[in-house]
Amino acid sequence: MSADPWPEGIGRRLLAEVDSTNAEAARLAASGAGPCWILAGFQTGGRGRRGRPWVSPRGNFHATLLLHPEGPPDRVALLSFAVALALREALAGLTGLPQVFALKWPNDVLLNGGKMAGILLESVGQGRGVAHLAIGIGVNLIAAPDPGAVEPGALRPVSVLEETGLRIAPEALLDALAPALARWQARLETEGFAPLRAEWLAHAARLGEPIRARTGTAERQGIFEGIDAQGALILRTAAGVDTIPAAEVFF
């Protein structure tokens, strides 16, 4: 598969080692750096959602896209769906196995039903907007964490190599991901969220099935009916329909 051209106006930084690519993005933003991708061979302090450590062995994908987006924070947050779509698209193209990848709300990419990737958005505000946005992406290309190290009830961690037998270099994934994300980002800006919502739902895991949504210490169970026009989870419970803007989902 031939990669599409690198997106115009987007820098590219390849690092042998860093504490975390999101932390490096924050440092670059403070220095006035423009939009760029940062790819690290190894992270000494990778982080997932809620500050959880993200295991970052060499050969896996650890990258961050630094952006200076326009628009209000709720609009900028929809970029997480663009990232998930682009990552699924890139991996489907590189492996030739589109049927094995699915999307889990809010922004995980699954492989054969296991968690293969995570996406972390971190922003710094400026007035009513967002001064800079760091989109961190971790993909288990060759190794996954020990299943015993994940939270009870969480999906089993998997890697591309273990599940498909295919070895993808981090640089090759970046070359496919960067243009794919640029395309989805452009569609979000020109056409709004509707086409992204439709494509995301076409690849959504457990759509129409029972799930659990945890917000803090509260947990709700119901049927996953989709996402609304703002990207919120739609959950049909015994008490009616809930629209949940932020939660952790368990199957």
Residues 198 and 214 in one domain: no
For 171-204, what is each residue's pLDDT tens digit?
Answer: 999 999 999 999 999 999 999 999 999 999 999 9
Residue 223: CATH number of its domain: 2.30.30.100
Does residue 22 share a domain with residue 111? yes
Average pLDDT, the chain: 90
The dihedrals phi and psi of 55, each to the nearest 5 degrees, come to -65, 130
Residues 126, 116: Cα–Cα separation, whole Å: 33
* pLDDT value of position 125: 60
Are 111 and 223 within one domain?
Answer: no
- Say whether both 106 and 166 belong to one domain: yes
- Tens digit of each residue's pLDDT (9 = 90 or more) over 99-111: 999 999 988 999 9
pLDDT attached to residue 218? 87
State which amino acid sits at residue 30: A
Do residues 226 and 198 share a domain? no
Angstrom distances, CA of residue 106 to CA of 58, 98, 203: 27, 20, 13
Contact 28, 65 (CB under 8 A): no
Tell me, yes or no, whether 6 lies in a domain: no
191 plus 75 within the same structural domain? yes
Residues of the chain with pLDDT under 70: 1-3, 46-56, 125-130, 149, 152
Domain C-terminal end among 202, 219, 242? 202
Residues 6+ apart with CB under 8 A from 109: 84, 87, 88, 91, 101, 102, 103, 116, 117, 119, 139
Domain hosting residue 81, numbered range: 11-202
Q: Are residues 89 and 189 in the same domain?
A: yes
90 and 112 in a single domain? The answer is: yes
Whether residue 125 sits in one domain with residue 186: yes
In a domain, 2, yes or no: no
Structural domain count of the chain: 2
Q: Is residue 85 part of a domain?
A: yes
**Are 221 and 157 part of one and the same domain?**
no
pLDDT of 251 reads 85
Cα–Cα distance for residue pair 65/83, rounded to 1 Å: 10
Is residue 4 included in any domain, yes or no? no
If asked whether residues 152 and 69 sit together in one domain, one would say: yes
The domain spanning residue 159 has which CATH number?
A: 3.30.930.10
Q: Does a structural domain hold residue 180?
A: yes
Among residues 202, 220, 241, the one where a domain terminates is 202
Distance, CA of 58 to CA of 17 (rounded, Å): 9
The pLDDT, as a whole number, for residue 127 is: 54
Rounded CA gap, 65 and 22, in Å? 8
Same domain, 141 and 105: yes
C-alpha span between 247 and 232 (Å, rounded): 9
